[in-house]
Each structure stands twice: as C-alpha cells, then as structure tokens.
C-alpha cells in the first residue's frame, strides 16, 4: 500500500476548508464551505503531512525528550484529524454514494498509514529510551505523561513491532483488507436496512399505531417517493412498532424483515463479508501471538482476559434466561395463545397496561422532544455540573436537521460565564443515516493545543410532520440521556494530551458514564419537569410516574437475555481459530444456533439483540469482541448509582465529584483508578444483580 509522501501535503489547495484550522467558535468545522470533493484531498494530504511530522521526530539527532518525542507525536496529524473527524461523522450521519466511494479508497490507505507510524522501529526506540530513563529515576514524568508513554509502548507492541519483516508485511496486508471489509459491511448494512423497511399500503394494517407514529411512517414513505406508510428498520432485532401493532400478521412481517437483514442472498447480503472479517481477525491475532481476536481485545481493556469476560457472561446468562422464560410463560397465559418473538413486545405492553397502568401511547404526549431535551437532559446537567446551554442559530451544522448549542460552565463569583464547548444535536432518522445512536467528536478537548470540545449526538427518532411536535417513546428518552452521558464525557474532559481526551478510554469503560447518566431520566425531580403534556401543559400524573418507577424491573428477563445473546455471539465469533471460522454463507445461521445453545441462550421468543448479519457494532464499528462492554460497564454504573444515593443524590457536590474524579480525567490515567478515586474501592457486582432481578 502506497503511503502519501510529503509532496502530497504541499499540493492541498489553500482554498480547501481543511487546509487551516477553522476560525469559527471552538474550531467548529465550517460546514457551509465543506463539500464532498474536499474530503479526499485533505485526507491524503493529512496522511502525508503527518508522515513528514513523524519523520522529523524519529530523525531528530537530539536525545529523546517528552517535548521532542511524546508531545511532538501528540501535535502531529492536525490536518488529518480535522478532515477525518468530519468525514467519519458525515459518513455515519448523512452518507452519500460519493462519501462511500471515498471511504472505500482511503480506508486501506489509512490502515497502512497507521501501520507506518506504529511499526516504525525508530519511534519505538525513542519511546524505550524515555521509559528506561523513567524507570531509572533520571527522568521525572507527570502522572498523565507517564501513562501516555506506557500506553504508547503498549500500542506499538500490539501493532506488531516485534514481528519479523515478512510478518509485518503480512500484518499490513491484513489490516488494510480488514479496514476495507469493515467499510463494505457498513455500506451493505445501511442499504439492506433501507431495503428491508416494511411498506404498508392498507391503513387498516396499522391498527394500534399512534397518530404520531403513523404520520412519521407516512412522511418516511413520502421522502422515498413511496405511496403508503413505511415502517423503517431500527438497528436491533426487535422493532419499536411491534409493541403497538394489533395485527399478528403485520407484526410477523416486520419481525421477519428485521431478522432477515443481511442474509437474503441480495446485493446487501453481509455474510461473505463478515466471514472473511472473522477469519482475518483470527489470523491477525495468531500472527501477534494471541489465541484469538477476543484475547487480543480483552488484554488492552479493563477485563484483561477472555476468561474474565466469559465468567461474567456465564454468571449472568442462566438466571437471565430463566427470567425470560418465566416472563414468556406469563405472557402466553395472559394471551391464551403462543407468543413468538414478533408478538412479545405487543403482549408485554398489554401487561404493562394491566399491571402497571402503563401505555406507551398514553405516555408519548407527555414526552415531547424539546421539553425532554431542555427540561430533562440539559436540566440534569445544570443541577449536577452547573452547565447552561444556549442555541447558536448563527452556526451551521452538516445537515439541516442539526442544531448547535454552546455549553457554558458556571462561573466563579465575580466572573462571567466561560464557554466550555459546543454540543451538536442530530436527533432525527433519515435514509442516509446509519441505525442506532452514538456520540462522536469534531474537536477533542486538550490543553496542549488549547482546544475545547465539540461533540455530536446522533439518534434515530422519527420526525413528526411539519408543524407537529415530535413525541418520544420512553426508550427514546433514556437513549437521549444515555448519549448525552457520552457528550458530557467529552465536554467535561480536562486533560493535557489530545489522545487522552474524554471518551478515549477502553471499550468496557466508555459506556459507564453514559449509563450512569440514564439514571436522571428516572429521577422524580427531573422527570417531573420534562414529563408534561405537550398540548395542555399538565404534568404527567404522579401515579403514572410512581408506576413507571415501580415497573422498572418488568421485562428485565427479556432485555438482559437479548443483550447477552448478542454479547455471546460476539465472543463466539471472535474466539475462533482461523481454520474454525465457517466456510460458507449458509453456515452462518447454524453457527449462531450452536453458539447460543452452547451458552444456554437459545430461546426462540427472545432472539439476540443483533443477529450476526446486522451486528454493526462488531463488524461495522469498533466493538469487535467488546460488545460485552455494556454489561461490564453496567457493573460500574449500578455501583455508582448506589454511590449517588448514599451521598444524597442529585446535588452539585456529587456532580462535581463525579466530574473531577472521573469525567474530567478521560484517558489520562488507568480508568479503573478513576473509578476507585470516586468510589473508594473496586466495583461490586451486587447492585447490578439487584437491578436486573438476578440476585442470589
């Protein structure tokens, strides 16, 4: 793979918006100027520029120092970073065929570029000299710098620096091919999800669906030039509409369409792609000296080993499945008929109505998006951390749906408000956006370069027709709080080095702060402010709120089992040796069944949250062999919820402690130490077991 040379950097047109840092507030990218044709030249020039910068570092005749080696490495790649952060966000949030073509061209070159840096023996030697001096006591390092050096050496070693030249060449080829395949999986998945959307032409088939949901489905059909109502596919197996649709045959159509994504033999079939990825990941792990890809991933995470991951999943799976089976028996008894995967949500919603007087259709009018955002998500951040939010109508996002808020820190007495960064909200679904919800950075906070954070939250909420309010499901409310927890991790970061900013922590830690932030959606003081009827202004009845709080454990058997099914599949695929990866697309379904059966999680009415063929987290994103991270992080989350309760709950004092001891530190120290600094001890699993109803 050819790496762009220094001459390429000099050829970037100065008129390219990426050529210099943005002059907009907080270096927000100038989306009014950026065009599709600007991305690739800037990425290519950025790679060339960084290679030249690294070459200056490794050929410096002066002895290695923190300034001329570690800080110089941190400063390198500014042009590339500017271009890639915008490009990756745009590709996920508003893809076009042109952007996908660019990804296909640059992805293998980016993999080769990274290999060129971390397989450079000269850089390795300079880092080793610094570590030897630190070990000998002749070089005093600040704690964050010592951790930076430690992680740099780990990354270099895990990149294959100690392999022979021929093996390094093999590794480079594997990395390039895997990057290409990951991009290919994402493209196929998005196209397949759009193709799988269920078109309804007879409105009678929508019986049970709320007026707002019908209007959203009608708008979705119109946006694609279709007549009728389009039920768009969300990323996971169980679709939200299944809780409302009264006709079993329509529910079955939706569920079948959902679970058949990626395995229908069409151009969108992902099986050939994912099988090659699984095999190549296994080959790469073996080349690097690991038993399998999962062992490679776990080593650099909080878990440490796959044995630790397997032990946790094995402890949780039997009681979770037992709970799910009990819930299923209960549903069938009440329904008086078999309950399939397609029927589960519908009958579970009926139980909620009967036992808890809860009805999603009744709740929605009290969950209007603007009020949830301002009087819920933003209010909690204000009460905990002293943050305030001002919408910047003068700033432009990358799509008309995007809104930008300036975030202010509470000033010290006698001082004016200090701008902390920008929060970019992209809440609505569209055909060009990948499924799910996520947070990304456009600018990373760091003191070395004097940058403050610009963070993005992407959700997939169906927009109401023009002039009507967008009403949310409760799941969408908690998702909004969750993703804003990630945003807070970025906005409240207070680190020196860019590579340690905010969410730059292990996968099995990164979900922890966001899961903690979900607790405030349930906090009566917060819930009482945002749960207000959008027409009458009446608050949600107190008895409804009490019922919601009382019903939190209902359905945990289902939700925990579907999650664990996906986590177990992830481990099953990534604990394979190369020769054990299934050979043909037709083998994928059988492998899935066998893996779930072996783990005791093969319960038909509760399919995995993601089946292999549309498991974007592990084949299109960065969670390969790490989907267990959500439950691992929940251990920390549940323990921290207990800490909040023990310490007085929703107070500035508690928020400040969580901010300073954990969020602000980002990846500047071992994240397990950040947890201990907050909690005063290592995490305990008992609070999570109690939350899930899985206590001993």
Q: Residue 551: what pLDDT?
A: 81
Q: Residue 502: what pLDDT?
A: 97
Mean pLDDT of 155-174: 97
Structure tokens at 516: 């903690």
Q: What are the start-end ranges of the E strands in 246-363?
A: none
Mean pLDDT value across the chain: 95
Mean pLDDT of 438-459: 98
Q: Residue 437: what pLDDT?
A: 94
Helix (H) or strand (E) holding 591, with range, is helix 588-599
Pick the catalytic residue from 259, 349, 406, 483.
Answer: 483
| pLDDT of residue 62 exceeding 70 | yes
- 3-class SS string, 27-86: HCCCCCCCCHHHHHHHHHHHHHHHHHHHHHHHCCCCCCCHHHHHHHHHHCCHHHHHHHHH
Structure tokens at 524: 């009566």
Q: Which of 482, 469, 478 is nearest to 371 (CA)?
A: 469
535 given a catalytic annotation: no
| pLDDT of residue 420 exceeding 60 | yes
- Tell me the pLDDT band of 4, cut-offs 50, 70 and 90: low
Per residue in 527-547, pLDDT tens?
999 999 999 999 999 888 888
Residue burial 214-251, b: 16+ Cβ < 10 Å; e: rest: ebbbbbbbeeeeeebbbbbbbbbbbbbbbbbbeeeebb
Per residue in 612-635, pLDDT tens?
999 999 999 899 999 999 999 999
Residue pointed to by tokens 């929605």: 364
Phi-psi domain of 597 (left: phi exceeds 0; alpha: psi -120 through 50; beta: other): alpha
Q: What percent of the chain has pLDDT over 70?
A: 98
Per residue in 548-573, pLDDT tens?
888 888 899 999 999 999 999 999 99
Structure tokens at 332: 């069938």
SS3 437: coil
SS3 428: strand
Which residues lie across from 441 on neighbouring strands?
455
Mean pLDDT of 637-659: 97
Cβ-based neighbour number of residue 134 at 10 Å? 17
Residue 466, burial from CB neighbour count under 10 angstroms (0-12, 13-18, 19+): exposed
Structure tokens at 629: 């991270």
- Tell me the pLDDT band of 2, cut-offs 50, 70 and 90: low
Give the CA distances from residue 72 to residues 122, 172, 195, 521, in Å, rounded to whole numbers and listed in that order. 14, 25, 47, 43
For 192-240, the DSSP string reads HHHHHPEEE--GGGGTT--HHHHHHHHHHHHHTT-SSEEEPPPSSSS-G
What is the Cα–Cα distance from 455 to 29, expressed in whole angstroms?
A: 12
Q: Which of 417, 323, 423, 313 is nearest to 377 (CA)?
A: 423
Identical topology for domains 6-118+120-158 and 364-550 = yes
CB contact set of 316 (below 8 Å; sequence gap of 6+): 560, 564, 631, 692, 694
Report residue 434 CA to chain centroid gap: 12
Per residue in 210-229, pLDDT tens?
998 999 999 999 999 999 99
DSSP letter assigned to residue 446: B
Domain boundaries, the chain: 6-118+120-158, 197-259, 364-550
What is the Cα–Cα distance from 178 to 184, expressed in whole angstroms?
A: 10
Q: Residue 552: what pLDDT?
A: 81
Provide CATH code, domain 6-118+120-158: 1.10.1370.40
Task: To the nearest 10°, report the CA torsion of 104, 618, 481, 461.
Answer: 60
DSSP letter assigned to residue 327: H
Q: Residue 696: what pLDDT?
A: 57
- Fold of domain 364-550: 1.10.1370
Phi-psi domain of 396 (left: phi exceeds 0; alpha: psi -120 through 50; beta: other): beta
Contact between 486 and 60 (Cβ < 8 Å): no
User: Cα angle at 171 between 165 and 175, to 5 degrees?
Assistant: 145
What is the Cα–Cα distance from 679 to 662, expressed in whole angstroms?
A: 10
């Amino acid at each position: 793979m050819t790496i762009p040379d220094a001459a390429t950097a000099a050829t970037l047109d100065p008129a390219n918006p990426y050529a210099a840092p943005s002059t907009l507030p907080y270096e927000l990218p100038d989306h009014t100027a950026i065009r599709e044709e600007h991305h690739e030249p800037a990425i290519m020039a950025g790679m060339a520029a960084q290679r030249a910068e690294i070459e200056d570092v490794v050929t410096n005749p002066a002895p290695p120092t923190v300034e001329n080696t570690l800080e110089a490495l941190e400063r390198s790649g500014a042009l590339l970073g500017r271009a890639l952060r915008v490009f990756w966000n745009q590709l996920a949030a508003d893809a076009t065929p042109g952007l996908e073509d660019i990804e296909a061209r640059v992805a293998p070159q980016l993999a080769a570029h990274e290999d060129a840096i971390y397989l450079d023996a000269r850089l390795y030697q300079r880092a080793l000299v610094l570590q030897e001096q630190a070990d000998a006591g002749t070089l005093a390092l600040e704690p964050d710098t010592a951790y930076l050096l430690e992680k740099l050496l780990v990354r270099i070693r895990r990149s294959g620096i100690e392999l022979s030249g021929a093996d390094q060449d093999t590794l480079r080829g594997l990395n390039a091919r895997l990057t290409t395949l990951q991009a290919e999986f994402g493209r196929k998945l998005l196209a397949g999800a759009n193709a799988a959307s269920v078109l309804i032409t007879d409105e009678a088939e929508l019986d049970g669906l709320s007026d707002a949901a019908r209007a959203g489905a009608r708008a979705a059909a119109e946006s694609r030039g279709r007549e009728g109502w389009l039920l768009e596919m969300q990323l996971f197996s169980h679709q939200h509409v299944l809780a409302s649709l009264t006709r079993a045959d329509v529910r079955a159509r939706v569920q079948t369409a959902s679970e058949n994504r990626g395995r229908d033999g069409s151009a969108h079939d992902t099986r050939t792609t994912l099988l090659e990825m699984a095999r190549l990941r296994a080959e790469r792990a073996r080349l690097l000296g690991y038993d399998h890809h999962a062992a490679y991933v776990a080593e650099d995470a909080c878990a440490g080993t796959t044995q630790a991951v397997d032990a946790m999943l094995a402890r949780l799976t039997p009681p979770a499945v037992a709970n799910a089976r009990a819930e299923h028996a209960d549903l069938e008894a009440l329904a008086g008929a078999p309950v399939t995967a397609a029927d589960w949500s519908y009958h579970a919603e009926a139980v909620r109505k009967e036992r808890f007087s809860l009805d999603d259709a009744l709740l929605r009018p009290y969950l209007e998006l603007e009020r949830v955002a301002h009087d819920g998500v933003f209010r909690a951040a204000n009460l905990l951390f002293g943050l305030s939010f001002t919408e910047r109508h003068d700033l432009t996002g990358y799509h008309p749906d995007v809104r930008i808020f300036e975030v202010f820190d509470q000033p010290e007495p006698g001082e004016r408000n200090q701008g902390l960064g920008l929060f970019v909200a992209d809440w609505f679904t569209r055909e060009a956006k990948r499924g799910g919800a996520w947070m990304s950075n456009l600018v990373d906070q760091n003191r070395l370069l004097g940058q403050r954070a610009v963070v993005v939250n992407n959700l997939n909420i169906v927009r109401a027709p023009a002039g009507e309010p967008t009403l949310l499901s409760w799941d969408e409310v908690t998702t909004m709080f969750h993703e804003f927890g990630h945003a807070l991790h970025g906005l409240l970061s207070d680190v020196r080095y860019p590579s340690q900013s905010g969410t730059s922590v292990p996968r099995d830690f990164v979900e922890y702060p966001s899961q903690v932030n979900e607790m405030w959606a349930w906090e009566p003081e917060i819930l009482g402010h945002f749960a207000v009827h959008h027409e009458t202004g009446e608050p949600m009845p107190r008895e409804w709120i009490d019922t919601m709080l009382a019903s939190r454990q209902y359905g945990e058997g289902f939700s925990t089992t579907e999650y664990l099914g996906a986590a177990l599949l992830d481990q099953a695929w990534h604990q394979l040796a190369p020769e054990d990866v299934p050979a043909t697309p037709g083998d994928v379904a059988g492998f899935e069944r066998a893996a779930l059966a072996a783990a005791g999680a093969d319960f038909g009415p509760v399919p995995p949250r993601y089946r292999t063929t549309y498991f974007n987290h592990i084949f299109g994103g960065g969670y390969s062999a790490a989907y267990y991270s959500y439950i691992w992080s929940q251990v920390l989350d549940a323990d921290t919820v207990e800490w909040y309760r023990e310490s007085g709950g929703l107070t500035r004092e508690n928020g400040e402690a969580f901010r300073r001891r954990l969020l602000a530190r980002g990846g500047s120290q071992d994240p397990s130490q950040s947890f201990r600094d907050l909690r005063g001890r290592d995490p305990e699993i008992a609070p999570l077991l109690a939350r899930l109803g899985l206590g001993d």
